[in-house]
Amino acid sequence: MHLYNLTLQTQTAINQAVHGNFSGTPKSQEIVVGRGTAIELLTCDPSTGKLKILCHHDVFGIIRSLLSFRLTGGNKDYVAVGSDSGRIVILEYIGERNMFERVHQETYGKSGCRRIVPGHYIAADPKGRAIMIGAVERQKLVYIMNRDAESHLTISSPLEAHKQYTLCYSMCGIDVEYENPTFACLEYDYEDGDNDPTGDAVKKTQQTLTFYELDLGLNHVVRKYAEPLAEPGNLLIPVPGGNEGPSGNLGDQPDIRCPIPRRRNDLDDPDRSLLIICAATHKTKLMYFFLVQTEQGDIFKVTLETDKDLVSEMKVKYFDTVPPANALCILKTGFLFVASEFGNHELYQISNLGEDDEENEFSSRMQLEEGETFFYGVRPLKCLAHIDSLDSLSPLLSAHIGDVAREDAAQIYALCGRGAKSKLKTLRNGLEVTEMAVSELPGNPNAVWTVKKNIDDKNDAYIVVSFVNATLVLTIGETVEEASDSGFLPTSPTLGCGLIGDDSLLQIYPEGIRHIRADRRVNEWKTPPRRQIVKCAMNRRQVAIAMTGGELVYFELDLNGTLNEFTERKLFNAEVSCMSLSEIPEGELNSRFLAIGTADQAVRLISLDPNDMLTPLSTQNLPSHPESLLLVDTPSEDGKGQPSVHLNVGLQNGCMFRNTVDNVTGAIMDTRTRYLGTRPVKLFRVTCQGQNAVVCTSSRSWLLYHHQRRFHLTPLSYVNLEFAASFSSEQCAEGIVAIAENSLRIIAAEKLGVSFNIQSYNHKLTPRRLVVHPSAPAFVVIESDHAAYTASTKTAKRNEMADDIERLANDSEEMELAKEIADVLRNNIPDETVFGAPKAARGKWASAVSLLSAIDGKVQTYFELPQDENAKCIALCQFSKHPETVMVLVGCGVNESLNPFEDGQGVRPPRGCVYTFHLSPNGDRFDLLHRTETPKPVSAIHDFRGMALVAFGNMLRMYDFGQKKLLAKCENKIFSVGWGL
C-alpha cells in the first residue's frame, strides 16, 4: 500500500537553490530549487524573460541541502541532495522525459533531521572529484565521484571524517586545481566547555577554520590544518583557485579584514551586529567577484586584489538592495535569482556590474579606529532590473476561508511575510489571466477563429468573427484592422474555418463550403436545395459536415490540393449536435477518427480509415444532450511513440466527460466526469507551452491543460467567455482570442500549474491575527513586530538625530551643511517595503490594529499602539449591556521580553492591557473606547455569554463592559500539575 499526499497548492517557500547546466544544452543555465518536500527545475525564457517551471518532483521527504557539481570534462551538471532520508542522492535531469533520474542513492545513517546525521551541509570539490556531506555535530562523510567504462557516474563507499564534540557552522570545497581534494569547515570544539561546570572554558574556546584533505592515493580523509579565529564566523565562501584565483594557499595567506559597512543615518540600534546571510560567486575566464547579502537585504560586491598567489586587498562596494534571501544564483546569462526568505522570489537582470565611480568603494587598506566602520547610503535599484516574480506565501501566519467578498465562491485570506514587507494575500481558485487587448464589436458575435496563411507561418494572419448573418475578417499585424481581400464570404455566418493544405483557406457556412486557394481562386461546394449545414469539423486535410436530417458528408484533400467528396454519405437516426476531427498524426496523411454527438444522447466514434470508411467504432451513451466535442492528442512523456488521444465531451447539463480513446480499436474508455457550471459546456482547442489545451466555457470559463506530467482543469480568473480560439502574433506567442458578450478579447494564461490567483495588500508590520466583520466584507487585523519602532518613535528619533547634527555645527558654513543633512534626514525616508524597517534593541515592540476591506484591501482605519506594547490576541465581543453593538477587544503585552534572563526583564516587569474598540455596522471604521490594565500579558480573549473571557498568566478573568474600562466580574486561578518534581 502506498499513501499519497495531495495539497491544494504546492509549497511556495524555497529553502535551497543552486544553478548550473542540468539539461546539457550548450550555454543554457537552469536553477534547481528545493521547496521543502519537492524539487523543481526552473529556467528563464529568453524570449519573455519570465521564469518557467520545467520539472516538478515530490521527493516525499525534507530537502536539507542541494549541491550542483560537474565531473571533470563533463558537459552537464548533476544535483546532489541531502535530505532526512539518511541517504545521499545524486540526480540527473533527463530532458527527453522531462524528469530527474536517480543516478545513485547511498544510505549512510538514520532517517530524520538529526544533528548527528549528515545531510545538513553538503560541499563538492570544484573539479567534481569528491563530495563531502556533513551533520551539524560530529559526522562528516566523503564520497569519491568517478566514471565507469561507459562514462556513467559512479560513487565510492563513504570515507569518514568524524570528530566528536565538534559543531559545524559552514562547509565548502577548496579550489586546489588537481591536487588532493580539500574541504573547509567552520567548527567549534565544545569538549572542554562540556566538562567545565564553571563556564570559563566556553569563554576561552575559539572557533576554528578546519581543512580536510582527501588523499586519493591512500583513499582516506585527514584533518590537515586548523586555524583558530579571533572572532566567530557564520559563512564560508569558496574563492576560485589555480589560474583563475588565489585559492589553495593553506596557512600562507595573511589575514585580511574589512568591516561590513552600515547604512548612513540609519535608525538601527547601534549595538546590533550585522550578519552576512547569503552569498554568490560569479566567475569567468577573465574575472571573478562575489555578491554578499546582509540581513537587511543590502548586496555588496566584493573583489580581491592579488599579489602573485596571495590576496593583498579586499574591496567592498554597495551593489543594490533586494529581499533577504535563502540563496542567490548568478546565471551566466546575466540574471540574478533571489530565493527570498520571506515573500515572493525575484528574478533580476544584471544591467551593470557596479563599476560606477559615484558609489563609494571600501577597502581593507583603509585605516579605521577600534569599533568604527564604513557607511553608505541606500538607493533604488541601479545595477539590477526587476524581471519576474514567483509567488510565495511563506511565512504563513494565519488564514481565513470564506466568501467574505460576497463572490458566491470561497476565498482564502492569508497573512504572510514579515515586517514592512508582509502582506494580506487573497487567494481565489483560478488561473491568472493577462489581458492583452479588448475591442468592442458592432454586434454580438457567436464565434471566433484564427487562421494562418501558410503552414510554415509561426503567427496567425486573420481573426475571423462570425455574427448571426455576417462574417468579419480582421488582419493581424502591429494593429488589428478589417481585411478586404481575405476571400471569405462576408454576407453569411461562418460555421468553421481554417488552413487546409499548405496555403489554402476554407470557410464553411450554412449553404456550402468555400475553398480559397493561395492565388485567390475560389472553389465552392453547395448544399442540396432546402438543406443546410448545421455542424462541421476540419483539420489540415479532412473536412466533415453534418446537414439537417442527420446526414454526414465527408471530404478529403488530394495530392493536387483539391477537396474531394467521399462517394458515400452516412445517415443518422438523430440530428447531429456536435462533431470533432482528431489531429493528423506525425508521418501520416489523414487522421483516423471522427467523433459525432447526436440528439439521442450518444457519442459515436467513426472510422476514417480507407478500409472501413465511416464505419462506427464505438458508442458512448450520455446522461444529457452533448453540446460540444473535442478530440485532443497528448504526446507521451518522452516524446516518443504514439500520442494519447482524449475525447472531451461537453454536456448541456454543465458536466464534462474526458475519455481515453484506444489508438488501434477506437474504443472509448477511462471516463472521467467534472461539473463545470450551470450552462452547457463548450470546448475549444488552444495552445499552452507548445501543447494542446482546451478552453471550456460554461457559467465559468476553465482551462484543461497538461503540465508537469499530469492534467490540470483550472477555472480562469476572468470574465466569462463564450467562444475561444488559439492566437499567436509577434507580441503574444501563445494567447487566446475570445468573445465575451459584444467584445473581442486577447488574453494569455502564463502561470500554468498554479491553483490560485493571488492579490496582495501591504501591511506596515507583521500581521498576526484577523477577525471577520459579522455583517460587512471587512477584516480587523492585529500587527506586531519585535525589535521594532512605532512610526511616532521613528519620527522622534529622526528629529533627535537631525537636531544633534545642527547643534554640533560651529560656523556658518558648517551650519548650512548641517541644515542640509538634517533636512534630508527628516524628509527623505527610505521606503520600508524595499529597504526594510530599522531594527531596535531586543525587548522593543511595535503594534497596530487595522481595519481592511476584503474587496480591494483598502485600509479603512489604522490605530497604532504605544511603543513596547505587543498585540497578541483579538476577538469580537457582544456585551449583554449592548447586544446590538460589536466590540473589538485586543489583548496586549507590555514590556515583554523574548528572553527574560538575558534581557534583564526584572527591571521592567511585564504587564498587559486590553483595548476596546467600537466597530461600525457597515465596516468602514472603528473607534477606541478605553484601555484596561491587566497584571500580566494577555494571551487569549473569547466572547462568552455576553461578557469577555480574558486569559493572562495562570488566571482566567471575566470582564463586563464599563464606561471607562472593562469591569472585572470574577476570576479563576489555574494551577498546573507536574510530574517527577
Domain with residue 892: its CATH number is 2.130.10.10
Closest residue by Cα to residue 240 from 276, 292, 286: 286
Q: Specify whether 937 is located in the same domain as 832.
A: no
The verdict on residue 359 lying in a domain is yes
Task: Give 2's pLDDT tier (boundaries 50, 70, 90).
Answer: low
Q: Which of the 8 DSSP states describes residue 431? A: B
Q: Specify whether 328 is located in the same domain as 259.
A: yes
Question: Which pLDDT tens digit goes with each residue over 389-419?
Answer: 999 999 999 999 999 998 888 999 999 999 9
The verdict on residue 333 lying in a domain is yes
* pLDDT at residue 96, rounded to an integer: 85
Q: Specify whether 244 is located in the same domain as 375.
A: yes
Question: Which pLDDT tens digit goes with each residue over 640-689?
Answer: 667 889 999 999 999 999 999 998 889 999 999 999 999 999 999 999 88
The verdict on residue 741 lying in a domain is no
Q: Specify whether 932 is located in the same domain as 797.
A: no
The verdict on residue 357 lying in a domain is yes
Sheet of strand 335-340: strand arrangement: 325-330, 335-340, 345-350, 384-390
The verdict on residue 313 lying in a domain is yes
Confirm whether pTM is higher than 0.85.
yes
Is the preceding peptide bond at 866 cis, omega within 30 degrees of 0?
A: no
Q: In terms of C-beta density within 10 A (0-12 exposed, 13-18 middle, 19 or more buried), how is residue 359 classed?
A: middle
Question: Which pLDDT tens digit goes with each residue over 760-781?
Answer: 999 999 999 999 999 999 999 9
Average pLDDT over residues 311-331: 95
Q: Are 683 and 705 in contact (CB under 8 A)?
A: no
C-alpha 267/C-alpha 160 separation (Å) is: 49
Task: Give 980's pLDDT tier (boundaries 50, 70, 90).
Answer: very low
* pLDDT at residue 124, rounded to an integer: 96
Question: Which pLDDT tens digit goes with each residue over 799-818?
Answer: 999 988 888 888 888 888 88
Orientation angle between helical segments 812-827 and 791-807, nearest 10 degrees: 170
Number of domains in the chain: 3
The verdict on residue 288 lying in a domain is yes
Could you tell me which residue, 11 or 271, shows the higher pLDDT? 11
Structural domain containing residue 810: 790-836
Q: Specify whether 779 is located in the same domain as 923.
A: yes
Last residue of a domain, one of 344, 369, 394: 394
What is the C-alpha end-to-end distance of the chain, expressed in Å?
45
Average pLDDT over residues 77-103: 94
Task: Give 420's pLDDT tier (boundaries 50, 70, 90).
Answer: very high
* pLDDT at residue 32, rounded to an integer: 97
The verdict on residue 241 lying in a domain is yes
Q: Specify whether 966 is located in the same domain as 823.
A: no
Q: Are 178 and 127 in contact (CB under 8 A)?
A: yes
Q: Specify whether 324 is located in the same domain as 374.
A: yes
C-alpha 943/C-alpha 398 separation (Å) is: 20
Q: Specify whether 948 is located in the same domain as 805.
A: no
Q: Specify whether 816 is located in the same domain as 941.
A: no
Last residue of a domain, one of 394, 422, 453: 394
The verdict on residue 24 lying in a domain is no
Average pLDDT over residues 35-40: 93
Q: Specify whether 875 is located in the same domain as 940.
A: yes
* pLDDT at residue 905, rounded to an integer: 46
Q: Specify whether 966 is located in the same domain as 829.
A: no
Question: Which pLDDT tens digit goes with each residue over 103-122?
Answer: 999 999 999 999 999 999 99
Last residue of a domain, one of 363, 394, 425: 394
pLDDT at 903 over 60: no
* pLDDT at residue 703, rounded to an integer: 95
Question: Which pLDDT tens digit goes with each residue over 173-207?
Answer: 999 989 999 999 999 999 999 888 888 888 889 99
Q: Specify whether 910 is located in the same domain as 924.
A: yes
pLDDT at 245 over 90: no
Closest residue by Cα to residue 757 from 365, 502, 432: 432
Place of cell 506525425: 586
DSSP character string of 905-965: GGGS--EEEEEEEEEPTTSS-EEEEEEEEESS-EEEEEEETTEEEEEETTEEEEEE--SSS
